[in-house]
Amino acid sequence: MGSFDKEIQRRRTFAIISHPDAGKTTLTEKFLLYGGAINLAGSVKGKATARHAVSDWMEIEKERGISVTSSVLQFEYEGYCINILDTPGHQDFSEDTYRTLMAADSAVMVIDASKGVEAQTRKLFKVCAMRGIPIFTFINKLDRDANDTFDLLDEVEKELGIATCPINWPIGSGKGFKGVYDRKSESVVTYSDTLKGTKEGKTNVIPAKDRANVEAEIGKDASDKLYDELELLDGAGSEFDLEAVRAGKLTPVFFGSALTNFGVEIFLENFLKMATTPIARKSLGDMIEPTSDEFSAFVFKIQANMNKAHRDRIAFMRICSGKFDADAEVKHVQGGKTMRLSQPQQIMADERKILSEAYAGDIIGVFDPGIFSIGDTVCAPKMNVCYEGIPTFAPEHFARVRQVDTMKRKQFVKGISQIAQEGAIQIFKELNSGLEEIIVGVVGVLQFDVLRYRLENEYNVEIRLDPLPYEHIRWIEHSNTEISKLTGTSDMKKVTDLKDRPLLLFVNAWSIQMTIDRNEGLVLSEFARN
Ligand code: G4P
């Protein structure tokens, strides 16, 4: 293998998905600790520092002390080059969070052992499942009282519809947490909470066949329970099957405690072996291999107004093939222009560094003078590729929006259309009407504030937002009847999006099913392929 191929093969690009507070940040910090990127966990991306460190790209971020942007972390570990895509978690959950998943080759799902599968995990999981990427599960916080292990696995299987394969098995939890049983080596790895914040710590590894020794180490009760569970274990979850893992049909499950740094290294090592190298991506019906000689990438996110200067934007690209060379010219496929990407940079949590080269699997951010759209392809001039677009994801919050000053109609329509074009919000209009009545849909409610702020600051338009009760949106993939004649529930609303595609808004999930039942041949979708 040449050095070029090696560079690509050693890359692992993944997103961490979880519900807020499950421990995503803590786990990320511990990964960085192993990678030697930081000396002390917490010093890079701890919550306390995040407020100042992440970015001051948008005033709104500063005001709220949160990060609207998601960032990418790159670090080295045992010969691997790892890219972690951060998916914003709290109020800043937005369509960007979903889009970021489109750039990942695999996902790590962090679950709080005392909470099980939660709402945001479910949503993000769905997008990963749609893409069929491998999903690895880290069940966290075993140092606190946890739900029954069998129940947790059962919940993942039933709620998310993916088979599970425990790679290790927790021994007790909370005050009684003794460690994990590693199935492959058939040994007990004991827990010690002296590991807190450091990477060196003392754990004992005792072969399970040496039951007396295990009992001496973890106590009789824990030991008896473990051996009982081990007998049942073969019936819990599925057999390990790497093919199924890579196809996203089986999730390997690990247990640990990110806070006390237990189970993290075991996870990382197994994960890196099981996760895929950068995957081939579809373009014009062909699969483009990452090791193809020529550079190609697609834009998955655009961050507006990073500088206060108007229209300063950064386009985030995932490199799909070849090597990026900052001096080489590239073709912007949708724009039909050849150019040099300016100020290519790697975006870190707290810094941006200018880079001169990057490889398939990596993420780069480039200065965008307002020419890129989400989903656009950029490639070497002689290459003929156009990557599949990024789907539009279903917003969950809706509001009717009006400008306060009716004289400012023009700026209002211009501003809101541009912001929608960038992908920060989605706009809809009533079926068979113009833009007189605009309905805005967002994935996360904070986007409403971003919209208001940007319209006021960039377009000098004040708006009024009236919340609407809809929570579900469905694109119409197929209908036997004309859209205007579809019979739905009384609270259903028919609208169209910017591309004039018809959609239905629903107040509850029950109405969706009712509408499908009432209209033969009606096929609805939660995503819109662009
Ligand atoms: P998130 O990014 O998924 O939102 O979660 P984050 O890592 O910020 O963790 C949320 C809270 O859970 C933090 O506590 C964190 O210390 C704690 N936590 C994470 N992993 C573990 C674990 O394995 N065991 C235990 N017991 N706690 C864990 P906090 O009090 O909200 O914040 P902080 O003041 O400790 O930073």
Per-residue pLDDT tens over the stretch 286-309: 999 999 999 999 999 887 655 555
Instruction: Out of 26, 51, 140, 257, give the residue to mutate to test ligand 1, the one with the largest number of ligand atoms within 8 Å of its CB.
Output: 26
Spatial strand order in the sheet of 377-379: 337-339, 330-332, 377-379, 296-304, 313-321, 363-368, 345-347, 352-354
Ligand 1 atom closest to residue 110's alpha carbon, by position in its atom list: 3
pLDDT band at 162 (very low <50, low <70, confident <90, very high): very high
Which residue lies with its CA nearest to atom 31 of ligand 1?
21
Gyration radius of the chain over CA positions: 25
Write the pLDDT tens digit of every residue in 341-395: 876 666 544 455 666 678 999 988 888 888 888 999 999 999 999 999 888 888 9
Say whether pLDDT at 521 is over 80. yes
Instruction: Out of 16, 17, 18, 21, give the residue to mutate to test ligand 1, the one with the largest number of ligand atoms within 8 Å of its CB.
Output: 21
| 161 token code pair | 């519809």
Query: Which amino acid, residue 288?
Result: I
Q: How far is the CA of 25 from the centre of ligand 1 (A)?
A: 8
CB crowding 147-180: b at 16 or more within 10 Å, else e: bebeebbebbbeebebbbbbbbbbbbbeeebbbb
β-pair partners for 80: 77
Ligand 1 atom closest to residue 27's alpha carbon, by position in its atom list: 7
Q: Looking at 60-64, 247-251, 355-359, which range is the least confident one?
A: 60-64
Residues with CB under 6 A from ligand 1: 18, 20-26, 47, 89, 140-141, 143-144, 257-259
Say whether pLDDT at 64 is over 50. no
Angle at 16 between CA 10 and CA 20, to 5 degrees: 165
Q: How far is the CA of 349 from the centre of ligand 1 (A)?
A: 18
CA distance 152 to 16: 19
pLDDT at 465: 95
Q: How far is the CA of 72 from the centre of ligand 1 (A)?
A: 20
Instruction: Write down all domains in the chain, each with its CATH number in brackets.
Output: 7-98+105-274 (3.40.50.300), 281-379 (2.40.30.10), 397-525 (3.30.70.3280)
pLDDT at 45: 40
Ligand 1 atom closest to residue 144's alpha carbon, by position in its atom list: 26
Q: How far is the CA of 392 from the centre of ligand 1 (A)?
A: 32
pLDDT at 236: 75
Q: How far is the CA of 258 from the centre of ligand 1 (A)?
A: 8
Torsional class of 304: left (φ above 0), alpha (ψ -120 to 50), beta (otherwise) = beta
Q: How many CB atoms lie within 10 A of CB 117?
A: 19
φ and ψ at residue 270, rounded to 5 degrees: -70, -45
Ligand 1 atom closest to residue 18's alpha carbon, by position in its atom list: 3
Residue 290's nearest CA partner among 2, 3, 9, 80 is: 9
| 497 token code pair | 């999006």
Q: What is the mean pLDDT of residues 32-43?
A: 56
Say whether pLDDT at 201 is over 70. no
Between strands 377-379 and 296-304, the pairing is antiparallel
Q: How far is the CA of 123 from the centre of ligand 1 (A)?
A: 21
Which residue lies with its CA nearest to atom 4 of ligand 1?
21
Residue 465's nearest CA partner among 505, 433, 438, 435 is: 438
Say whether pLDDT at 2 is over 70. yes
Instruction: Out of 259, 260, 261, 267, give the residue to mutate to test ligand 1, the one with the largest number of ligand atoms within 8 Å of its CB.
Output: 259
Q: How far is the CA of 46 from the centre of ligand 1 (A)?
A: 10
CA distance 437 to 111: 42
pLDDT at 421: 81
In the chain, % of residues over pLDDT 90: 58
Write the pLDDT tens digit of every residue in 263-289: 998 999 999 999 999 999 999 989 999
Q: What is the mean pLDDT of residues 199-223?
A: 88
Query: Which amino acid, residue 406?
Result: T
Ligand 1 atom closest to residue 20's alpha carbon, by position in its atom list: 4
pLDDT band at 313 (very low <50, low <70, confident <90, very high): confident
Which residue lies with its CA nearest to atom 28 of ligand 1?
259
Which residue lies with its CA nearest to atom 30 of ligand 1?
21
Q: How far is the CA of 26 from the centre of ligand 1 (A)?
A: 6
Say whether pLDDT at 29 is over 60. yes
Q: What is the mean pLDDT of residues 209-234?
A: 93
Q: How far is the CA of 526 from the centre of ligand 1 (A)?
A: 32
Q: What secondary structure does DSSP assign to 130-142, as a single string?
A: HHT--EEEEEE-T
Which residue lies with its CA nearest to atom 17 of ligand 1?
23
pLDDT at 176: 93
Q: How far is the CA of 266 from the centre of ligand 1 (A)?
A: 20
State the chain's mean pLDDT as an integer: 85
Q: How far is the CA of 259 from the centre of ligand 1 (A)?
A: 7
Which residue lies with its CA nearest to atom 24 of ligand 1?
141
Angle at 367 between CA 366 and CA 373, to 5 degrees: 80
Which residue lies with its CA nearest to atom 34 of ligand 1?
47
Q: How far is the CA of 28 from the centre of ligand 1 (A)?
A: 11
CA distance 189 to 166: 15
10 Å CB burial of residue 186 (0-12, 13-18, 19+) is exposed
DSSP at 390: P
Q: How far is the CA of 230 from the centre of ligand 1 (A)?
A: 30
pLDDT at 183: 93
Q: What is the mean pLDDT of residues 204-211?
A: 92
Which residue lies with its CA nearest to atom 9 of ligand 1?
23
Q: How far is the CA of 29 from the centre of ligand 1 (A)?
A: 11
Say whether pLDDT at 168 is over 90. yes
Highest mean pLDDT among 456-460, 468-472, 475-479: 468-472
Q: How far is the CA of 394 from the centre of ligand 1 (A)?
A: 29
Which residue lies with its CA nearest to atom 19 of ligand 1?
23
Q: pTM for this one?
A: 0.87
pLDDT at 209: 94
Which residue lies with its CA nearest to atom 6 of ligand 1?
23
pLDDT band at 91 (very low <50, low <70, confident <90, very high): low
Torsional class of 273: left (φ above 0), alpha (ψ -120 to 50), beta (otherwise) = alpha
Say whether pLDDT at 3 is over 60. yes
Which residue lies with its CA nearest to atom 10 of ligand 1?
21
